[in-house]
């Protein structure tokens, strides 16, 4: 079974590598959105430093949402998804593997780019660690919750926009805690409490979301 | 609560706009819901026939 | 005596029951709202701090309460439909959503109009108002998802999964927003703390809650009947009803 899951992950990674534009689009979207904010609110360094945590987090959230509909869509289109549903490996584990691959391709780049973008906002060096850690813990949660939305909207017209509407309210706690970690660190309190909360969210999401998404997949693929 | 006059009642101590704005919108929305339900029912029955 | 729990789980048997419930609870709603508004406007005194503007709570708090309560009820029926595969449970969940969204909007609107004289701005990032806003998005998401799916059974089940995820997430959202609010030292006065309730104010509010609750039952029953007629339009009983109806 581990071999099957490894197979799923490597397959998804290989497919993503072949269509590397997907990866780059998400990363570029992140960069552009973050760059738009100073253009909108003015270049005052003090203001930018204050809004940096929120802006970075919202941009990462939107960017990771961009690629969500693709988690299952390609496999659904060519019938691979039904094969996976009929296979011996529990669908929940397959979903978990796919989400992991999806995060590696769309979420991890955001985590890695974020310090560079934080420089645009003159974020103090000490906060870089909290930034990267909060995104590293938070973006997988976003991918996991988003997978549920992707499974529910599989094959529907207007799936992209509908997916955003479904999933954004569910993202609110992650955003609040994630951005809150950085703000707490900035104010001197230390972001440990929020980071631990994010870790807890990740564990709970990893434990439940794949199975909810699997149930949603069975509903969507009659 | 003795309002004294209709004017006092409508003025709501200066907050008339807010209080009656709330109640008016609520009434309009609930009326709209009921009207839409009536229309939905007529459509449903019409489609069966 | 053995209870047949599933007697009314078919649209055909429940349809007339829903009609009677709508009538009864509609009448009760009118009575309760009349009584509640009388209490609210002619018995409850002027508030020391907020003057007459507080009288919005006779709509705001019942609407907010119903918006949350209806979401839980909706999730309950959706979950039941998912578990027992009963058509009617899914129809009930779909029937509740628009009424729930309506009350959520009313809660937001009246909350905004209440906040304006109290704190000078049309919108306050108060924990409850912000949670209500997210709740509105949850309702819209549910309705949008069901609207986008043509097959009613798939729409029921997909909506059920979404509603259940939402209902689990709702406390998390609420607490995280509340925590966010206190962290940012936002509105220092919670909308529900003011005013200190005189007994008559509380009585008026409670009666209005019942009024809104009865209204919700009536509206949901009426909508459920519409949904039953739409989905079961090929069936014999629906045809008979349509021919008999005015």
Residue C100 pLDDT level (bands cut at 50, 70, 90)? very high
Backbone angles phi, psi at C66, to 5 degrees: -65, -40
Q: What is the pLDDT of residue C119?
A: 77
Residue A126 has pLDDT above 50, yes or no: yes
Cα separation, B6 vs B26, whole angstroms: 22
Q: What percent of chain A has pLDDT over 90?
A: 58
Burial zone of A210 (CB within 10 Å; 0-12 exposed, 13-18 middle, 19+ buried): buried
SS3 track for chain A: CHHHHHHHHHHHHHHHHHCHHHHHHHHHHHHHHHHHHHHHHCCCHHHHHHHHHHHHHHHHHHHHHHCCCHHHHHHHHHCHHHHHHHCCCCHHHHHHHHHHHHHHHHHHHHHHHHHHHHHHCCCCCCHHHHHHHHHHHHHHHHHHHHHHHHHHCCCCCCHHHHHHHHHHHHHHHHHHHHHHHHHHHHCCCCCHHHHHHHHHHHHHHHHHHHHHHHHHHHHHCC
ipTM surpassing 0.85: yes
Confidence band, pLDDT 50/70/90 cuts, at residue C189: very low
Q: Over 60: is that where the pLDDT of C192 sits? A: no
pLDDT band for position A146 (50/70/90)?
very high
CA pair distance A138, C29, nearest whole angstrom: 46
> Which residues have a Cβ under 8 Å from the Cβ of B21 and sit 6 or more positions away?
C113
- Scan for tokens 């390609």, then name that residue: A74
- Would you say C118 and A125 are in contact if contact means Cβ atoms under 8 Å apart? no
Who has greater pLDDT, C133 or C7?
A: C133
Task: Give the residue with greater pLDDT, B1 vs A171.
Answer: A171
- Taking Cα atoms as reference points, which of A173, A30, A166 lies closest to residue C137? A166
* Interface list for chain C against chain A, based on CB atoms closer than 8 Å: 134-135, 137-138, 140-141, 144-145, 148-149, 151, 154, 157-158, 161-162, 165-166, 169, 172-173, 176-177, 179-180, 183
Task: Say which residues have a Cβ less than 8 Å from residue C16's Cβ, sequence separation at least 6.
Answer: none
Indicate if the pLDDT at residue C201 is higher than 60.
Answer: yes
Question: Neighbours of A (≥3 Cβ pairs closer than 8 A)?
Answer: C
Residue C184 has what pLDDT?
67
Distance CA C221, CA B8 (A): 39
With b for 16 or more beta-carbon neighbours within 10 A and e for fewer, the C122-153 pattern comes to eebebbbbbbbbbbbbbbbbbbbbbebbeebe
With cut-offs at 50, 70 and 90, classify the pLDDT of residue C181. Answer: confident
Q: Work out the number of other CB atoms within 10 angstroms of the CB of residue A187.
A: 10
* pLDDT grade for A100, boundaries at 50, 70 and 90: very high
Do the beta carbons of residue C9 and residue C205 sit within 8 Å? no
Pull the structure tokens for residue C16.
């007339």
Name chain B contacts of C239, Cβ cutoff 8 Å.
Answer: 48
Contact between chains at B33 and C102 (C-beta distance less than 8 A): yes
Report the predicted TM-score, pTM, of the whole model to 2 decimal places. 0.91
Q: Name which of C145, C173, C177 is nearest A152 (Cβ-Cβ).
A: C145
Does C3 score more than 70 pLDDT?
no
A188 by Cβ neighbours in 10 Å (0-12 / 13-18 / 19+) ranks as exposed
For residue A86 the two structure tokens come to 């009929």
Contacts of A168 in chain C (CB under 8 A): 137
Collapsing DSSP to helix, strand or coil, C194 comes out as coil
Q: What is the mean pLDDT of residues C174-203?
A: 69
pLDDT of residue C154: 93
Distance, in angstroms, between C118 CA and closest chain B CA? 10
Measured CB to CB, residues of chain A less than 8 Å from chain C are 148, 152-153, 156-159, 162, 165-166, 168-170, 172-173, 176-177, 180, 183-184, 212, 215-216, 219-220, 222
Other C-beta atoms lying within 10 Å of the C-beta of residue C155: 18
Touch C-A: 3+ C-beta pairs under 8 A: yes
> Which chain C residues contact residue B22 at CB under 8 A?
56, 59-60, 109-110, 113-114
Per the CB < 8 A criterion, the answer to whether A91 and A136 are in contact is: no
């Amino acid at each position: 079974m581990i071999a099957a899951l490894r197979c799923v992950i490597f397959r998804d990674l290989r497919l993503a590598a072949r269509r590397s534009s997907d990866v780059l689009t998400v990363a570029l979207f992140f960069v552009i959105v973050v760059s738009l904010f100073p253009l909108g609110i003015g270049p005052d360094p003090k203001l930018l430093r204050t809004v940096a945590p929120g802006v970075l987090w919202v941009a990462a959230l939107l960017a990771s949402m961009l690629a969500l509909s693709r988690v299952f869509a390609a496999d659904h289109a060519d019938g691979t998804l039904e094969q996976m549903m009929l296979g011996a490996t529990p669908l929940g584990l397959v979903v978990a593997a796919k989400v992991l691959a999806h995060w590696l391709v769309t979420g991890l780049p955001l985590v890695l780019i974020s310090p560079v973008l934080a420089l645009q906002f003159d974020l103090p060096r000490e906060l870089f660690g909290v930034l990267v850690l909060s995104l590293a813990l938070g973006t997988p949660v976003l991918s996991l919750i988003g997978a549920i939305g992707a499974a529910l909207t599989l094959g529907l017209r207007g799936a992209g926009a509908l997916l955003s509407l479904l999933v954004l309210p569910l993202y609110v706690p992650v955003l609040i805690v994630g951005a809150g970690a950085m703000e707490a660190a900035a104010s001197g309190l230390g972001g440990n409490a929020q980071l631990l909360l994010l870790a807890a969210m990740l564990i709970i999401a990893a434990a439940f979301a794949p199975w909810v998404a699997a149930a949603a997949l069975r509903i969507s693929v009659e | 609560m003795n309002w004294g006059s209709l004017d006092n009642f409508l003025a709501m101590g200066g907050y008339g706009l807010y209080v009656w704005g709330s109640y008016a919108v609520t009434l309009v929305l609930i009326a709209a819901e009921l009207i839409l339900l009536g229309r939905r029912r007529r459509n449903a029955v019409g489609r069966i026939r | 005596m053995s209870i047949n729990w599933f007697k009314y789980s078919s649209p055909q048997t429940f349809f007339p029951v829903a009609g009677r419930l709508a009538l009864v609870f509609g009448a009760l709603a009118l009575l309760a709202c009349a009584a509640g508004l009388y209490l609210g406007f002619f018995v409850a005194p002027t508030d020391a701090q907020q003057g007459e503007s507080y009288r919005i709570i006779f709509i705001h708090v019942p609407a907010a309460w119903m918006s949350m309560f209806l979401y839980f009820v909706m999730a309950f029926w959706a979950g039941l439909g998912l578990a027992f595969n009963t058509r009617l449970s899914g129809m009930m969940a779909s029937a509740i959503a628009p009424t729930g969204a309506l009350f959520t909007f009313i809660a937001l609107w009246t909350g905004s109009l209440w906040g304006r004289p109290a704190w000078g701005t049309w919108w306050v990032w108060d924990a409850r108002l912000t949670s209500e806003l997210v709740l509105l998005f949850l309702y819209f998401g549910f309705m949008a998802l069901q609207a986008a799916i043509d097959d009613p059974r798939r729409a029921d089940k997909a909506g059920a999964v979404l509603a259940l995820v939402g209902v689990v997430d709702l406390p998390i959202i609420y607490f995280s927003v509340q925590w966010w609010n206190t962290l940012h030292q936002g509105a220092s006065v919670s909308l529900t703390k003011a005013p200190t309730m005189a007994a008559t104010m509380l009585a008026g509010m409670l009666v209005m809650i019942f009024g809104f609750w009865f209204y919700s039952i009536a509206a949901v029953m009426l909508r459920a009947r519409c949904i039953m007629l739409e989905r079961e339009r090929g069936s014999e009983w629906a045809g008979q009803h349509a021919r008999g109806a005015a």
